[in-house]
Structure 1
Amino acid sequence: MRTLTLVRRVAPLILLLVVLAVLTVRAAEQLDNQDTYFHLRFGHELLGEWSLRDPGSVSSFATADWVPTQWLPQITMAAVEDRAGLAGVAWLSGLAFLALALTLYVVARRRVEPLAAAPLTALALVASSSGLSARPQVLSYLLVAVTATAWLAAARSGRTPWWLVPLTWVWACCHGMWPVGLAIGGVAVLATALRPDRRWDRVARGAAVVALSGLATLVTPVGPRLLGAVVAVDERREFFSEWGRPDPGDPRLLALLALLLVAAAALAWRGTDGPRGPRTLRGLRESPDLTALGLLVLAGGCTVASGRTVPVAAALLVPVAATALHRHLGDRPAWTRLEQVVVLGGVALALPVLAAVVPHTADEPPARPAWTDPALAALPAGTPVLNDWNLGGWLMWRHPQLDPVMHGYGDTFTVEELRRNTDILALRPGWRTLVRETGVSYALVRPRSPLGRALVDDEGWRVLHRSPDLVLLKPPPGWM
């Protein structure tokens, strides 16, 4: 019995330490997500002359009337880069990863013991791993878990979570997924209204929190146009693969499926009466938690909606699954001194270790051919360059004097401009005319991409510099 008790207390803490170690190693890697670099460029522009309500554009080929939806972390990232370089950005990313892990564990631990909380945390982080990079969206995953926990707690206690109003204001300054928080609140209010023992004053207060949270997003420094920026994302989703349906073959979805099954089974199982009468485990004969059930449905919707919302589903499911399991496991045991030391000490140790490592592992962007920087730096300021889409973030960060045709920050492009970009890359009918209309002087593309092969083999563009993964081209006389 003593051995089982020791395993029950120590095994989940070992698992949590492994999770923290994996996240630390991941954060110490090179910043290879291209989106990181356009966030850094925008952050530097916002620290400079750009206005939050009327920003400029880093490309003359992106002319949409847009406003920043992630300005606060972008400015923070740029300020850290100014002082500590890319290594500092990598450390900041690691801080976000560890904060997410700690939040998920604490959220689960509020309702269940470590033996359940640690696996729930690990599963959620595996399911979310596609979205764990040096980007502001990690903050949204954290805030999804916090918001869901707040509404689940309100359903139990009857207390109104007014503090979610200022939290939503901060969220709206950090990332464009803040409407998920309003959706969570709406589901919770609806669940309260459907309870047999409903109290309409509680319903009204909950609805007021949701309404005030929505109004709070309209009074950020960006102003009311923030709402239009979020709505406009929907008309651009066809151009970005992460907004497409999740890949059923992605093994990370197994972790999300496990979370879904645990939460659904725990909510559905109410027990049965045996020959000696009702089962005695606490909570088996309680009515279903309608708030948890509603959030489970919302998480299911996020699971199938897009690849981008899979991590949102994972963050939602941790508090839902913990709440559902609590009905069967009973009251959680109090935090032990060992647990506090391991959890908080693990995070406290990981951060200085990461700070010592990243200057050696993440101080430079992914390697480019040796000719790239000198050749591009020699081009006159304002030179229009046709580029592969996934080179745009790095190009606009590394060589801000150039004028790239495309990059990954879709808000700055009109729908027509995004369609132009995809038509060029896919060599759809009329792509030559579209390239000529850009008036570009050079092309920086992948030599084995359809566009790279077509420009060199079919159109006769001259190769100025070439390497296995990158080529700089110039159109032949008269081609434009």
Structure 2
Amino acid sequence: MSAVHSTSAVGQRGWLLPLWIGAGVYLFQFVGGNDLLQDSDIFWQIEVGRWIIDHHAVPYSDIYSFTKPGAPWISSSWLSQLLYAASDAQAGWAGVVALSALAIAATFALFAQFLQRYVEPALATLLVMAAYVLSIHHLLARPHILAMPVMVAWFAGLISAADARRAPSLWLLPLLALWANLHGGFGLGLVLLGGVALEAVWSATPARRVALGLRWMLFGFGAVAACCCTPYGYETLLASRRILDLGQVLAILSEWAPADFSRFGAFEASVLGLLGFALYRGLTLSPPRILLVLGLLHMALSHVRSIEAFALLVPLIVARPWSAQLGGAPQAVAVPSRRGLALAAVGALTLFAASLVAAPYLRFALVADQVPKAAVAVLQQRGAERVFNAYEFGGYLVAAGVKPFIDGRAELYGEKFVVAHHRAVAMRDPDLLPRLLDDYRIDATLLAPSSPAVKLLDRLPEWQRVYSDAVAVVHARR
């Protein structure tokens, strides 16, 4: 901290703080890599990536389930899936963990790089820690993690252009195209673009507003075109929209659930702290920036998966007003020299290589309660082909070569199908489960021991329990 504390040091060694933060985050995430492996969706994500590598093409229809065979489906995260599959092929779960940890480290390094322009290094570090704590619940080895550094870089480029009263650099367009290939959340980038463009025009002098507005509008057209620079073209935009049209499904899946304030937590503390600080110190924002903050807050309140966007983007929105109104002039942060960038790159690659060498001693494994390995072995021995499975087991079934009833691709199955499955497993409608088992000619079930449906199957005369353990219960039709 002492090496980067003074303003002169920040100008000369502006790359040191982001480098140390990135290295610290990477080590913390890699050593605790099992925390990244808490979601079995990574199984089918890797399988899709393997299919892409093997066939040198991207999928256009379902090839995994027996309930939607051949149904239209495109992967809006095809590039992330390919990268995860390649990492898994090279180093197993250690490769998956290392790739995810590298993306998370890059995210917070970029976050720190932007913040240190406007606040002291100590405060920038505290803000990084706060954003990390708010995001940690959604730091999982999944495609959205690989898109996080792109999101931060995209928004930092936009808000920097607005602060300078100019149009954004055209070099941001390839960045958005990369986001569109990594994850379906790129639509947020377009929404943010509209809000920042409004801020740029609002803050410009009256004489420049029309010209500047036209330049931002042209950039917006380029951004939409960049989002279509994927193997699927404009269908990528439609696929991203379908996820948001799932209706009741968003209330069923935990990551789409609204924020829970029944217990005091970090998110509530951050919202109250931001409000209290603004009231106490008189921090004011322009109307477009207020809309951006309120929009991100609404997203975070509506879906817990959006809390990390709130944590990472709101500080970028308020950084310049904070500095101008409360902290004096912005810091003089020099552009990193080629030597500085080279040293940072060498350090990052050395850390990455060292972590892979140490990986065999850390024994990474996916969370046990989503890996029904023994139960699936029983199903395979019995030759079960039509298995009614719990939602969380779908990814593992795909990886094991067993066609699932349902998996994490909710946009493929649709709102009606996913809701019916949820109601049947949760016994919201006692007659629904037997009807689904008959309609889809199910010959075995694979459910969690705590599932209410297990108790019903134990009582149905045409079904018998053939296997159970702490992870899963298997019933077979008599």
Q: What's the TM-score, normalizing by structure 2?
A: 0.84
From the superposition, tell whether residues 123 and 61 of structure 1 become closer, same or farther in structure 2 (CA, over 3 Å).
same
Query: In structure 1, what residue type is equivalent to 2:177?
Result: W
Matched, 1:195 2:192: no
Q: Runs ≥4 in structure 1, deviation > 6 angstroms?
A: 12-17, 339-346
Q: Partners of 1:90 and 1:257 in 2: how far apart?
A: 31
Cα distance, 1:19–1:82 mapped onto 2, change above 3 Å: closer
Measure the CA separation in 2 of the matches of 1:419 and 1:202: 47
Code of the aligned partner of 1:331: P
- Shift of the 266–201 alpha-carbon distance from structure 1 to 2, 3 Å rule, reads farther
Shift of 1:45: 2.1
User: Could you tell me which residue of structure 2 aligns to residue 279 of structure 1?
Assistant: none
1:52 pairs, out of 43, 58, 73, with 58
Would you say the 8 A contact 1:425–1:450 is kept in 2?
A: yes
Q: What is the match of residue 269 of structure 1?
A: 283
Deviations along 1:42-97, one digit per CA (max 9) or x if unpaired, are 21222234843623331021354221100001011112212222221111111112
Q: How many residues of Structure 1 are paired with residues of Structure 2 in the alignment?
A: 453
Which amino acid is 1:456 matched to?
Answer: D
Contact 2:30 2:97 in 1 (8 A): no
Residue in 1 that maps onto 2:238: 228
The answer on whether the counterparts of 2:104 and 2:148 sit within 8 Å (CA) in structure 1 is: no
One of 118, 129, 150 as aligned partner of 1:122: 129
Pair 1:33-2:39 in alignment: yes
SS in 1 for 2:92: helix
Cα 1:21/1:373, change in 2 over 3 Å: same
Offset of 1:349 from its aligned partner?
Answer: 6.1
* Backbone CA RMSD of aligned residues: 3.5
The secondary structure found in structure 2 opposite 1:222 is coil
1:388: how far off? Answer: 1.0
Partner of 1:246: 259
| CA pair 41-16 structure 1, distance change in 2 beyond 3 A | closer
Paired position in structure 2 for 1:159 = 166
Q: Is the 8 A contact 1:386 1:440 kept in 2?
A: yes
SS in 1 for 2:331: coil
Amino acid of the structure 1 residue aligned with 2:181: C
Specify which of 94, 103, 106 is matched with residue 99 of structure 1.
Answer: 106
Whether contact under 8 Å (2:258, 2:302) holds in the other structure is yes
1:313 equivalenced with 2:327 (yes/no)? no
TM-score normalised over the length of structure 1? 0.83
Q: 1:168 aligns with which of 176, 187, 200?
A: 176
CA deviation after TM superposition for structure 1 residue 128, in Å: 1.0
Instruction: Indicate how the Cα distance of structure 1 residues 361 and 387 shifts in structure 2: closer, same or farther if over 3 A, else same.
Output: farther
CA pair 183-371 structure 1, distance change in 2 beyond 3 A: closer
Indicate how the Cα distance of structure 1 residues 394 and 256 shifts in structure 2: closer, same or farther if over 3 A, else same.
farther
Match of 1:463 in 2: 465
Check whether the contact 2:36–2:139 (CA below 8 A) recurs between aligned residues.
Answer: no
* C-alpha deviation, 1:126, in angstroms: 1.0
Corresponding position of 1:76: 83
Answer yes or no: is the 8 Å Cα contact 2:65–2:403 preserved in 1: yes
- State the distance in 2 between where 1:376 and 1:450 align: 21
2:299 to 299, 302, 312: 302
> How many Å separate the matches in 2 of 1:16 and 1:58?
38
Identity of aligned residues (%): 22
Cα deviation, 1:195-238, whole Å, max 9, x if unaligned, reads 36142111111111122111222242112211221111122152
In the alignment, the residues of structure 2 paired with residue 295 and residue 26 of structure 1 have an alpha-carbon distance, to the nearest angstrom, of: 34
For 1:283, the equivalent position in structure 2 comes to none
Q: Which letter does structure 1 place at the counterpart of 2:464?
A: R
Letter in 2 for 1:58: Y
1:268 and 1:230, CA in 2 relative to 1: closer, same or farther beyond 3 A? farther
Distance 1:376 1:267 in 2: 63
Q: 1:385 to 1:396 in 2, by over 3 A?
A: same
Find out whether 1:428 has 2:428 as its counterpart.
Answer: yes
Q: Is the alpha carbon distance of 1:355 and 1:257 closer, same or farther for their aligned partners in structure 2, counting shifts above 3 Å? A: farther
What does 1:395-434 align with in structure 2 at a 5 Å threshold?
395-397=397-399, 399-400=400-401, 402-429=402-429, 430-434=432-436
Equivalent residue, structure 1, for 2:355: 354
